[in-house]
Structure 1
């Protein structure tokens, strides 16, 4: 139901103020804690909330949840929104298939299963059987699959699991013939996959040292090492392949070349996209020790190995090419001066590259929508993969000798459909097409361009019911991220679909800091240039108001993690532009973020308060430190998980406590804390539905939107 603008405005004000006036936020104890940064004293009265395991913090969490639960339960929009969300979530979904050892593997969810199930079959025509069902690993569905790698002969399956949304993984090995796990068990694994040697005797993986009793994995002892695990041996016997005690920011990703003769080691440093690259020969497809040799350790650009073909290493890089290019490296003479360009930089950002069927399949973003181009071994352009429309395609994995590959295609209003692609003929055929209660024919997506404060132009994608009337009364949800070289492209998600079915407009903003236009676009939203990200998002909101898609009374913003930082910063800077703001698992304390778990790795995007110039910039936009008491704020719902070990919940705890203590008007300032939950990855279906439907119901309630 759509209300008129005046009625909607009045309804929103009445709805938020009426309930907010009855809100009594839990009292949050303040402490006398002040830190001095480069001569500037900064108070941190809620420092004690950083200890999320203390009894006092747990009591605070329970008290906050009691207030939030009461508020949410009283909203008439809550139950009908959850019903719509559940209905739209309940459809059969498939992952992108891949093949190994004469077997196909893919994931499937029948609709409301807590975790996706892994299936395998020897041909696409055979009836698939279950290879691994993560739903059997825990009673509440909180144990999730974090990685899956079959051995080259397709007989064994190395798989990682993580519990309660944590980044920490445990790796095991399953015999696919018996369905039983072997005795192998690997702990203290984080941010790692597995790479089998061609002989099937073991695999490479990265892990951290186990902490001593009472010790926390931070600072000096928090660094990654690459190991080789030989099947049937204890983890303590794993062979160290590479570490760097002189630079503990190094982390490692490993893969084995198609011919099994080369280990390719991606050396990542912090969360930046610039990396190093090492290689190690694997004689006869086996690990025989040795010291990996560098292809490059300059950390001056991105170097992504694509294939090892004919004695040449094919690498996707943005070295001297901000939008990306493909180069061939002779490993006998790996000096950069001898690198040969196979595919030069073009006008679009190269976001992915694979080598399948004797061809290079290169993925590009053209104004944040996917294009896929096919190139010959010598780099010559051959064709384009025909995609259904303006959206997002992903996949295209496989080996140089494969005849086929698979990919998914999705848009804001079309669920991901899986396609099989014949590399030789260039024909794409549908493999799995989802059936959902959401009818995409009722909606349309258009791409518009917004001009930011400094004149930079960027795209936004607007999804709405066909025939949308532009009078400013449309309840509109604007989503953004803007960081870490991550491209935000149009893709179907149930949150957007539910909002559309509720009568709203869903908008995706492809702003600076992401990877939509290459490395220069990313860097334009980092460190001292981070304000560009906020300016872009504000410009997107202003464009929606100016063009009468929405009004400040009908516009809400949402984002998670780095996107939570975005929402928090923009809410402080333009509280008058939005009716509601929902920052999820956000990075809110920009002065101390680097002190927690993996936070130090984000310095490539943010910089740290240890640097005087960066302190000034961070202090100027840090969501926690820029809440404006005496200014009317929109309704705010903060969400986090009490077990989040990536963006620790202290960020959201301290931000919510500060927001509640400030004089920011009658609209509610609530925090929803999911217990026994982490950053979001692997979250069970039931928890996803509850949390995200609550977010949409909160926004609808704020705007006075009736939901049936």
Structure 2
């Protein structure tokens, strides 16, 4: 799963390719020629499960077969074609597209991916480009160098014109600035090819096609640690990611001679299992290696240390540093110490230090105490640790000084989001991004003076945003809990109950739905809409307690917070009942699916993008193992009942009028497989009402995320057209 900030930088967007197919599904005809035809009717073949004394009937289980059957593939194509037929005829598309071109197409997207000893490595997509490209530029400015262009490809690399769009997902420059490791996928399938590009010669070496991700370079640049799948892993199987391991590639060797460096079963037994991902982190500031074991690709659940030389000699002698109950989110080695950001004992986060010479003694010293605000990340610089802190709904940057032990604020030129903090252990200061919901991103830098200045690396937007405003407030939920919201609107918006209003929420994994600029959202405001970001329970905005309050048996708080926010927006005059829309993505599918099945009368429109709708079956997917810690498992009675309660697919009722619903999937999605969305569409379409249609939009060039600016504009054009058509009727 993913945060909105990551979502934006990954260019998550879904588009449709022209589709035509003979469909193995019954197509119903409408008796009224003025209304669009009815969607393809999915075949029903009921499967009944008996779980903890309850019978669960599933009429569309056949869609889950792996590999995909011809019947399911044809069903997806038919759904995509039907959605395209309806969406293309929606009114107002031309005006919405013009707004999207003005605000979204004209925006430069830029994020620094790494600070090296001499240069900044950054990803940028300029207004005239379709994809993020990788560049390097000296710290002090000067001529930039294009390193990777996924559209054209590198000499000997995986690029090239034609075929599905390619996306560079990870980059890691070697300490000597001579070699760039990078991961690239196609069509958003997240089956990353890992390459090493030698910059001077242009030589590009394929390291692995087994979903390889760079972890860290050896300090002398002679080798690269990287994580990859086991040989023989089968896409679609529940054990697909089991036994993922970290390998070592030596630059003077053929990749076929790479050696296994770190497995989940190495080191002290702390509860880790084969479903977790072990990664080795080393840097030039320490002679120690950190062995971090990630649970479901999220936070490092377990941490251990060993002398790097001992690890390379095959005798690491791993010593424990932290366990799962520490809820560590970041760990950094510095000299003979490791600094860990953890939320297990302090829900808003504290930083503790462990002496690596005495790691086996378990002694910890808290160097940054828990404060009033959530600590979200750590970055390592020569002068200290740079700390991101969330203060209410805006960001702050602080520094813990190695020299003085003091924690001090960085003076920021603006109030807004702080994100993507990048440092180098041999350089003082930090580089980072700032933006807000209604002003575009800037790239800033701070040094020892702790005064941040704009680097000018990100060009200012070519349009005026002064007519757009953000109103921040708390909404009281039914149990009295204060739910923070951000309301985006034009400065002349009237509280007369006539505004189309879109609520966007997530609420899972303790991830913070952070405020950040997206030009596409201004296009919706430009058309008279209002957008509300709701920081509901299940996220991390108020710390670990806020996360747990929307987890497993508490999950109902997640969608009921959204319902309560919606009712508050009506009460305060921002909108009215027939003008409300709600949008959830990925794990946010639970939120949107249950909000509309619990209160179908409240919302006029629902947008479910790559959403988890059938939670009872999610743990059986390739991405399922590990998610039981967030949602639960059917193997435990109490967690089964919680999963059933949050399962929107099993809460769809016959003869019920649901909102006009746009469900979206990427055909190559491995995180939330398309059958999750297809089953939800099939069940909702049994009650099909052409005036409140249920559409399933399918993109064959996408997975969970997509690649191009054109695709992003197409997605938002369809979404906003759909919302406005059904809130202005």
TM-score exceeds 0.5: yes
Residue 721 of structure 2 is aligned to residue 701 of structure 1: no
Match of 2:181 in 1: 158
Deviations 1:488-520 (A, max 9, x none): 121111331211111211110111111111111
Match of 1:96 in 2: 112
Please tell me whether the aligned partners of residues 458 and 511 of structure 1 are also in contact (alpha carbons under 8 angstroms): yes
1:118 to 122, 130, 134: 134
Residue 168 of structure 2 is aligned to residue 145 of structure 1: yes
1:30-429 matches, cutoff 5 A:
30-51=44-65, 53-90=68-105, 91-96=107-112, 98-136=114-152, 137-140=159-162, 142-181=165-204, 183-189=205-211, 192-211=213-232, 217-219=237-239, 222-244=242-264, 247-270=273-296, 273=299, 275-283=301-309, 287-291=312-316, 293-296=318-321, 298-334=323-359, 338-377=363-402, 380-424=405-449, 426-429=451-454
Match of 2:27 in 1: none
Please tell me whether the aligned partners of residues 637 and 672 of structure 1 are also in contact (alpha carbons under 8 angstroms): yes
* Cα distance change, pair 323–425 in 1 and its aligned pair in 2 (3 A): closer
In the aligned structure 2, how far is the partner of 1:396 from the partner of 1:526?
A: 29
Report SS of the residue matched to 1:446.
strand
Please tell me whether the aligned partners of residues 280 and 290 of structure 1 are also in contact (alpha carbons under 8 angstroms): no
Residue 554 of structure 2 is aligned to residue 524 of structure 1: no
* Cα distance change, pair 425–54 in 1 and its aligned pair in 2 (3 A): closer
Please tell me whether the aligned partners of residues 630 and 663 of structure 1 are also in contact (alpha carbons under 8 angstroms): no
Shift, 1:45, TM fit: 1.2
In the aligned structure 2, how far is the partner of 1:28 from the partner of 1:425?
A: 61
Report SS of the residue matched to 1:652.
helix
In the aligned structure 2, how far is the partner of 1:440 from the partner of 1:244?
A: 49
TM-score (norm 1): 0.92
Shift, 1:28, TM fit: 1.0
In the aligned structure 2, how far is the partner of 1:507 from the partner of 1:162?
A: 33
Shift, 1:348, TM fit: 0.7
Shift, 1:438, TM fit: 4.2
2:609 to 584, 603, 609: 584
Deviations 1:398-439 (A, max 9, x none): 123203321110111111111121234534234234333542
In the aligned structure 1, how far is the partner of 2:613 from the partner of 2:361?
A: 41
Q: Which runs of 5+ in 1 are unaligned?
A: 1-16
Give the superposed CA RMSD: 2.4
* Cα distance change, pair 19–382 in 1 and its aligned pair in 2 (3 A): farther
TM-score (norm 2): 0.89
Number of equivalences:
684
Report SS of the residue matched to 1:431.
coil
Shift, 1:98, TM fit: 3.7
Shift, 1:255, TM fit: 2.0
* Cα distance change, pair 215–687 in 1 and its aligned pair in 2 (3 A): closer
Q: Which runs of 5+ in 2 are unaligned?
A: 1-30, 153-158, 266-271
In the aligned structure 1, how far is the partner of 2:280 from the partner of 2:335?
A: 21
In the aligned structure 2, how far is the partner of 1:454 from the partner of 1:553?
A: 25
In the aligned structure 2, how far is the partner of 1:236 from the partner of 1:653?
A: 41
Match of 2:564 in 1: 539
Please tell me whether the aligned partners of residues 411 and 450 of structure 2 are also in contact (alpha carbons under 8 angstroms): no
Please tell me whether the aligned partners of residues 681 and 695 of structure 2 are also in contact (alpha carbons under 8 angstroms): yes
Report SS of the residue matched to 1:135.
coil
Match of 2:18 in 1: none
Residue 490 of structure 2 is aligned to residue 476 of structure 1: no
Match of 1:677 in 2: 702
2:475 to 432, 445, 450: 450
In the aligned structure 1, how far is the partner of 2:544 from the partner of 2:524?
A: 33
* Cα distance change, pair 310–151 in 1 and its aligned pair in 2 (3 A): closer
Please tell me whether the aligned partners of residues 290 and 333 of structure 2 are also in contact (alpha carbons under 8 angstroms): no
1:15-26 matches, cutoff 5 A:
21-26=35-40
- Indicate the larger mover: 161-170 or 296-305: 296-305
Please tell me whether the aligned partners of residues 416 and 435 of structure 2 are also in contact (alpha carbons under 8 angstroms): yes
Report SS of the residue matched to 1:591.
helix
2:627 to 568, 582, 602: 602
* Cα distance change, pair 665–623 in 1 and its aligned pair in 2 (3 A): farther
Report SS of the residue matched to 1:679.
coil
- Indicate the larger mover: 567-576 or 398-407: 398-407
Report SS of the residue matched to 2:358.
coil
Please tell me whether the aligned partners of residues 657 and 687 of structure 2 are also in contact (alpha carbons under 8 angstroms): no
Shift, 1:229, TM fit: 1.5
Please tell me whether the aligned partners of residues 470 and 489 of structure 2 are also in contact (alpha carbons under 8 angstroms): yes
In the aligned structure 2, how far is the partner of 1:105 from the partner of 1:677?
A: 26
* Cα distance change, pair 99–700 in 1 and its aligned pair in 2 (3 A): same
* Cα distance change, pair 406–600 in 1 and its aligned pair in 2 (3 A): same
Report SS of the residue matched to 1:362.
strand
In the aligned structure 1, how far is the partner of 2:188 from the partner of 2:235?
A: 22
